[in-house]
Structure 1
Amino acid sequence: MNRQWQDLHSPDSRVSLYLRAASKRKISGDTLPAVGLRSFLRVQPDNLAAYRRLCHFTDDGRLPGTYPHVMAFTLQLQLLTGHDFPFPLLGLVHLHNRIDVLRPLGGIDGLHFAVYAGNLQAHAKGGTFDLVTEAEDGLGLLWRETSRMLVRGLKLQGQQDDTGENVPGALAEVTRWYADGDIGRRYAKVCGDYNPIHLSAASARLFGFPKAIAHGMWSNAMALAALRTHMPNSGYRFEVDFRKPVRLPSEVVLSASEAGPAGELRLDGHGELLHMAGRWAVL
C-alpha cells in the first residue's frame, strides 16, 4: 500500500475525539484507510514524572520504553476516530503489543510521530488489524510500537489466523503488586485513556465486564519497569500478549527468566488466571 500522510500541527482535543468515538457504534466497512497521521509532539515533564511514579520507573534520564505510547495516544485516537476509519473505537480489544527500542531514549525534548493502521486479517472472533506508531528524532527512527487490535463481529474473507500463542512455563517470581480499585482512573488521568471499562464497575458493566479492569498498557509498563535490568538500555524488543483481564482490585505476580539477551515473562493472578504472557529479545 502506498501510504499517504496527513501532517498535523497538533492532534485534536481528547474531549472532541472521545465525543466522536461515542457517536460511532457500528462497523461501517472492511477497508482500512490509506492515510496515516504525523505530528511533532513534545515531552511534557510533569506528565513524564507522573507516569514514572505511577508505573514505578526510575528517573535515569531516559524515557521509559512505554512512554512514547503515552505521547502518541491522542494522535492514535484521532486516527481511530477518523471519518474514514471503519471500526468503532469503543469495543476494540487490545490483543498484543510489541515495542522496539532501537536507540537510547535519552535527552529527548520531542519526537516526530507517525501513526497508521494495516495488516487486516480474519480472526475466529472477527478480525484484527495492527495499529503502528513510529517515533523519529533528527537521526531517524528510534522507537516503534505495533498494537494488534481485535474487531469483534467483523466478517472477512480468508483463512482465520489460528496460530496459538506461546505460553511460558514455570518461571521465577520477580515481584508482585496490588492493582487497587482506582488504578484505572489514575492511569487515565496520566495517560488519557478514559475507556469506560477501566473507570468503574458501573461503566464497565455497560460493556459486559462485571468489574472495572486494569489497562493492559499499565500492566505492560509495570512489567517493563520491573524487568529493566534484564535487558539493555536500547536495542531490544519487548512484547506481550494480553490474556485474561486484571479485574480491580486484585493482586498479580510477575515471573520471568533470568537476565539475558532473550527471555520470557508472565503475569498471573489468583486462581490460575494468566493475565499476560510475553518475551524480550536483543535486536
Structure 2
Amino acid sequence: MKLLRYGPAGAEKPGMLDEAGKLRDLSAHVPDFTGAMLNDASLAKLRALDPESLPLVEGAPRLGPCVGNIGKFMCIGLNYSDHAEESGMAIPKHPNLFFKANSAIVGPNDDVVMPRGSTHTDWELELGVVIGKAAKYVSKAEALDYVAGYCICNDVSERHFQNNLTGQWTKGKSCDTYGPTGPWLVTRDEVPDLQNLSMSLDVNGERRQAGNTSTMIFTVAEIIEHLSHLFTLHPGDVISTGTPPGVGMGMKPEPVYLKKGDVMELRIEGLGEQRQRVGEDA
C-alpha cells in the first residue's frame, strides 16, 4: 500500500493511493497515520479494504509528512562509501547516528526555508525507514519485521551550522523545514528488494545525486539491529539511512549550495517523488 496524509499543515487526513494513482480518503477507517496505527494488524485491515469503495479526493491537495507525530527522527551519516570519500571522512566502523529535531519535519513538497544567516544549505536524498512495532535487541535476520514501510527523506543540512558552530551535527540538521518526508509510506511488502533501489536528486533540473541503496555501508537491517541494541525503537520512529554521493559540499572544484528560488526534485524507485522550492526567512 501507498499511505499518505493530505490537507493543511496540522490538520492532515489519512489517505491511500489506488492502483490508478488516485487519492482515496481513509478517514472513516483510521484517525491518522501515527505510530499506534502502523502495526501489522492495523495495516492488514487497511489492506483488506477495496480502494474503489473509498471516497475519491478531488484536486491536488497538499501532502503532509507521511507519518504524523513522528517519535524519534534518527539519521545515519556517511552510510555510502563514495559519499564518505567526497566528504573527506573515514568509513565508519559502526552506523554514525545523529538526530534531527522533529520541528524540522514538513511535507514532501513544502518549501524549504533557509534560516537567517544561512550560506551553506545543502541537499541530501535519503531512504527513510518507518518503524511499525517496538524493537529492542533485535537481530539482523528479524530486523525488517519491525518495519511498517519506507519513504523518501531530504536531510537538508546547513553545513556552516553543522561544522563550525561547535558541538554535534544537530545544529545544522534541525533548522525549520529541513526534514521533508514523504510523499507516501510504502508498506514493506511492496519493497521486496530494499537494498537495490535507484535514487536521484536534481537541483533546477540538473542531476546532482544518483545512487543505489546497494552501495550502503550498513544495510537497513544492520542499522535496525545496531540501534535496537542501544535503545528501544518505537512505532512511528523514522530512520533516515544516509545519502549517496553528489551533495553540494562535495562538488569540485568548489562546493555549491542552495540559494533562494532553487528547486530540488528527489526520487527513489517505487517510493515516489518530492519537490521543494527554496526560500529564506525575512
Q: Is the TM-score greater than 0.5?
A: no
Q: Tell me which of the two structures has the higher relative contact order, counting C-alpha pairs closer than 8 angstroms and 6 or more residues apart.
A: 2
Higher strand share: 1
